[in-house]
């Protein structure tokens, strides 16, 4: 009601326009919310992919460390049983060459694992 006692009414055209604006805002909000949910789901999937890649890489690192430590212990034990200096030099040369091959192989495998993890992380999820 107005001050002079008349009832206040919104014209039908204005009401229809306001309702259309509200409907449009509601649709836009629902689309925004759906997009945000899809993005959150995608981030969750990517996070799981990153965790899986990190787990694989961590397992490789641990495996390499175990092999390298075992190789060093084997080398140390062989040195203890060496009979003379030429045998020590031969054992050392064999150990260094084996370690270089092993480290080269490990670096290559690690590079491949990191590359695969990076590719898996950036792949679009279905």
Residue 35 lies inside a defined structural domain of this protein: yes
Identify the pLDDT of residue 125.
61
In a domain, 4, yes or no: no
- pLDDT for 7 equals 66
- What local confidence, expressed as pLDDT, does residue 97 receive? 95
pLDDT, residue 105, reads 92
HSE (CB half, 13 Å, CA atoms) of 8?
Answer: 4
Which pLDDT value is given to residue 40? Answer: 67
Q: Is residue 7 included in any domain, yes or no? A: no
Q: Can you give the pLDDT at residue 10?
A: 65
Q: Does residue 1 form part of some domain? A: no
Rounded Cα–Cα distance for residues 113 and 115 (Å): 5
User: What total of structural domains would you count in the chain?
Assistant: 1
What is the residue whose two structure tokens read 């694992």?
113
What does the pLDDT read at residue 58?
Answer: 83
Those residues of the chain that have pLDDT short of 70 are 1-10, 39-44, 125-126
Q: Are 82 and 91 in contact (CB under 8 A)?
A: yes
Asked, for residue 6, whether it belongs to a domain, the answer is no
Tell me if 42 sits within 8 A of 125, measured CB to CB: yes
pLDDT of residue 60: 85
CA distances from 66 to 59, 62, 63 (A): 11, 6, 5
Q: Give me the domain span that covers residue 29.
A: 12-122
């Amino acid at each position: 009601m107005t001050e002079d006692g008349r009832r206040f009414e919104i014209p039908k055209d204005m009401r229809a326009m306001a309702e259309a604006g509200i409907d449009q805002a509601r649709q836009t909000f629902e689309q925004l919310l759906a997009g945000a949910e899809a993005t959150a789901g995608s981030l969750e999937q990517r996070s799981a992919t990153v965790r899986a890649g990190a787990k694989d890489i961590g397992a490789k690192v641990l495996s390499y460390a175990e092999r390298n430590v075992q190789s060093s212990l084997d080398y140390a034990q062989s040195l203890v049983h060496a009979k003379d200096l030429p045998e020590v030099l031969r054992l050392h040369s064999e150990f260094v060459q084996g370690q270089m091959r092993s480290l080269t192989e490990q670096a290559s495998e690690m590079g491949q694992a990191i590359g695969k993890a990076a590719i898996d992380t950036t792949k679009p999820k279905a």
